[in-house]
Structure 1
Amino acid sequence: MNPTTSTVAAMRATALGRMTELLDRSPDPVGDEHARAFEAELADRFGTAHAVALSSGTAALHAALAAYGIGDGDEVLVSGACVVMTLVAIRLTGAMPVLVDSANGELDFDDLAAKTNPRTKAVLPVHLAGRCADLARLTAYCADRGLRLIEDACQAQGTRYDGRWAGTFGDAGCFSAKDGKLLWSGEGGYILTDDGGFAARARSFATHGFLPAPGQPAGSRLGHNYRMPEPVAIIARGNLARFDELLALRRRQTRHLLDAVAHVPGLTPIQPDARLDWNGYAPLLRVELERPREFCARLAEQGVANSVGTYGLTTADRLPSLQNLGLSACPAARADLDTTLAVVVHEGHTEARLDEMARIITEEARQWR
């Protein structure tokens, strides 16, 4: 079930060698050699012209929005089913998030059209659990209206839609490399794009504006310290080199758990769209039991981490920290999230641990009924 011992050992040996070399430079400045190498390797791996390495997925989203000049008075249309970090990135620019109803990753295009207005500057779909909206249709929608399409693909590493990598359809695709992601480095994030001017502006924004960019001489704009640290970049490079293996592992883990609970009454696997080559980010099940959120919380208490029960995932309009924004309700997204069991899996889960999780889910579901 887990990556081969030889592959993991080789990755660790390479990373340790690079880390030792880095430490041997002390107290001299370490520079950004590995962050820049990670960018080049990312662009080559996923077929984009540019990549920008950053300190987190949130930083990637914030830098992408800022690099396209989105700020005070602007609106960003965003999936109603999203995590709080997505909304934080929008608010950090001064722009206002406008929630668009969605279900199982798919945006409600009628709601999207109804909420598009002259203040709208970008659409930001969120690929929760690696599931995507109709990206071809969304790309055309944005192009027709002159809107930026910025993908929150933080959980969609390795997902393809119509044969194309998620995060490469829009003007920019934003990713997280936090632990638990398929391509992980403890922390960190990155942007994929074909827009060279945008990449330069995003990189400048991530270095306090000290780097020049088209139309922005060095020091002419304020920015943030969103650089990817060299130790993080070393780990990221090691895992990027074995990304195919990590992707295959996650898919096997998710398939194993879903097969183990396939016949449990009250739980039904949520199948991906036929056009989606899903990365298997998390086993997804429709909960048809009474009080589904309470059921998810019960599983979390029993050691089965999941998005609703462990992290309280819900629509953004119900988050206490965002109540002052008056965000519109998204009934389809709410019903979808309230009845979705998204089980957290990661590289360290053995087959035995997955079987134990399946046993707990099965017993709790039967008792719940």
Structure 2
Amino acid sequence: MPDPSGGDAVERLERDLAVAFDVPHAVAVSSGTAALHAALAACGVGPGDEVLVPALTVVMTVAPLHMLGATPVFVDSDPATLDLDYTDAARKMTARTRAILPVHLWGRMGDPAALTWFAAEHKLTIVEDAAQAAGTVHSGIRAGTAGEVGCFSTKDGKILWSGEGGFLLTRNRTIAAYATAFRNHWATAPPGEAPLSRFATNSRLAAPLAAFAQANTRRLDALVRRRQAQTRYLLDALSGVPGLVPHAPGPHEHWNGYAPLLRIDLPRPRAFAEHLAQRGVPNSTGSFRLIPCDTRPLFRPPRRPCRGAAEILDHTLAVTLTEHDTEPVLDQYAAVIAREASAWTT
């Protein structure tokens, strides 16, 4: 019978993850959201704190802040680079700002030097949401290792997958010990603390899922190359299609190719993405209705909406891929996209 705490299977996975990402500590949990929850709690984020978060994200990034009693402060992004708009971030700083939570959406990683400089300048903790960014490297720094903690998802569809699951990476032994206790109701407390002396969560990763994750961790480089090849294949097939321009990574970014990205320069671009979804081409805005997080009804209407994030989402075709999408599948996607783009009118 599998050990519900994960047992040896989780410990083996954590050792392999630490080696794969070249960090001292990895803590496996039940989801990417659980990883963020444990990481933010371990970094001391709590009631009354504010955390800078890009509006260019999904609500799952923000949910742990609500659970901890913290307040998300949404920051705009630069449409040219997809990176955070640090001028906007500086404008939104207050005495309560505790951390910054960059999100590497579609596997795209912003400039880590700009991130770490800003965090140091304002004395902020960095917790990265690298759920889609396993394998991306920018300026020699792996996504998820630029700050105090990096958080990942291993849900199906991710490059490193296990059906469900997640993990966090850190160089800080205290953060790792806190997260390990936090995932298991504080039953195994960090040194100097009593078991069950704090409220925590049940966010353990079950042994069978840990085994899947470990097997895929051991072939992570091959999985990244596979996704990069799929993305390159589809983008090459769409080269020259009117109204679609590849959104290329920057010169120092070694992108994992998580999702083929194209800027839609057609009338009613979001409607075009939704139209493609109806024609069988899954994509972020068309299939999943991705909108800037600051405009979701869960949050107070913003006084100044994050217009850069809105422009990015309204004009981006991010095709959803999985490891199992073969060249015939990609050929079909390319044919549909090219045909519909040519026929698209106002």
Unaligned 5+ runs, structure 2: none
Residues 304, 219 of structure 1: alpha-carbon distance in 2 compared, 3 angstrom cutoff: same
Taking a change above 3 Å as real, the CA distance of residues 108 and 201 of structure 1, as seen in their structure-2 partners, is same
User: For 1:72 and 1:174, how far apart are their aligned partners in 2?
Assistant: 21
Which stretch of structure 1 is more off in the superposition, 299-308 or 106-115?
A: 106-115
Q: Which amino acid aligns with 1:48?
A: V
The 8 Å contact of residues 317 and 328 in structure 1, kept in 2 or not, is answered as: no
* TM-score normalised to structure 1 length: 0.90
How far is the alpha carbon of 1:284 from its aligned partner?
0.2
1: distance between equivalents of 2:4 and 2:107? 38
C-alpha contact 2:6 2:210 (8 A) present in aligned 1: no
Q: Deviation digits for residues 106-133 of structure 1, max 9, x if unmatched?
A: 1111111111121000000000001112
Match of 1:305 among 257, 282, 287: 282
CA distance in structure 2 between the partners assigned to 1:45 and 1:78 by the alignment: 27
Which piece of structure 1 moves more, 164-173 or 132-141? 132-141
Q: Number of aligned pairs?
A: 343
Equivalent of residue 36 in structure 2, options 56, 61, 67: 61
Instruction: Give runs of aligned pairs for residues 1-369 of structure 1, distance below 5 A.
Output: 26=1, 31-103=6-78, 104-214=81-191, 216-320=193-297, 322-324=298-300, 326=302, 328-369=304-345
Q: CA deviation at 1:368?
A: 0.3
The CA RMSD over aligned residues, in Å, is 1.5
Partner of 1:8: none
* DSSP-derived class of the 2:103 partner: coil
Identity of aligned residues (%): 49
**Is the 2:101–2:129 Cα contact (8 Å) retained in structure 1?**
yes
SS of the equivalent of 1:227 reads: coil
Deviation at 1:327, TM superposition (A): 7.4
Q: Could you say if the C-alpha distance between residues 29 and 56 of structure 1 is closer, same or farther in structure 2, counting changes exceeding 3 Å? A: closer
- What code does the residue aligned with 1:76 have? V
Deviation at 1:292, TM superposition (A): 0.7
Structure 1 residues 29 and 272, CA gap change in structure 2 (3 angstroms) = closer
Deviates more, 1:209-218 or 1:45-54: 209-218
Change (3 A) 1:29 1:189: closer
Q: Is the 8 A contact 2:4 2:206 kept in 1?
A: no
Q: Which runs of 5+ in 1 are unaligned?
A: 1-25
CA pair 259-149 structure 1, distance change in 2 beyond 3 A: same
Letter aligned with residue 333 of structure 1: A
Give, in whole Å, the separation in 2 of the partners of 1:118 and 1:365. 48
Measured after TM superposition, the shift of residue 28 of structure 1 is: 7.7
SS in 2 for 1:61: helix
Shift in Å, 1:143: 2.0
CA displacement, residues 321-359 of structure 1 (integer Å, 9 cap, x when unaligned): x13475751011111111000000110100011000000
In structure 2, how many angstroms separate the alpha carbons of the residues matched to 1:218 and 1:79? 36
Question: What TM-score, normalized by structure 2, do the two folds share?
Answer: 0.96
The answer on whether the counterparts of 1:201 and 1:214 sit within 8 Å (CA) in structure 2 is no
Letter in 2 for 1:200: A
Contact 1:75 1:119 in 2 (8 A): yes
Distance 1:230 1:150 in 2: 26
C-alpha spacing 1:153/1:297, structure 2 compared with 1 (3 Å): same
Distance 1:327 1:150 in 2: 26
Structure 1 Cα separation of the partners of residues 58 and 6 of structure 2: 33
